Amino acid sequence: MTITTLLEKDMASKDSHRETASPTFSFLDLPDLVLECILRKLSPSGLLTLSCVCKSPRRSCTSDHMWVNHL
């Protein structure tokens, strides 16, 4: 079996999975108040890790009011 054949099978498998898979949601799709409640429960290391995900969580996780409870 060649690499091309394996890649074609993999792509076909992914395409069929997309058709049958239910829609996925990100935690970023949650309302702002819900996200803030979740972020307040994270440890400092959890906030730092989440701040590396993308810009939106970075702004939330690095804001001063998120860190008040940890000081």
Q: What is the pLDDT of residues 25-42, one digit of tens each?
A: 787 888 889 888 888 899
Model confidence at 55, pLDDT cuts 50, 70, 90, reads confident
Model confidence at 67, pLDDT cuts 50, 70, 90, reads confident
CATH, domain range 30-71:
1.20.1280
Q: Could you tell me which residue, 11 or 54, shows the higher pLDDT?
A: 54
Structure tokens at 71: 């000081």
pLDDT, mean over the chain: 77
Domain locations in the chain?
Answer: 30-71
Distance CA 42, CA 52 (A): 14
pLDDT on residue 44: 92
Residue 3 in this model has a pLDDT that exceeds 60: no
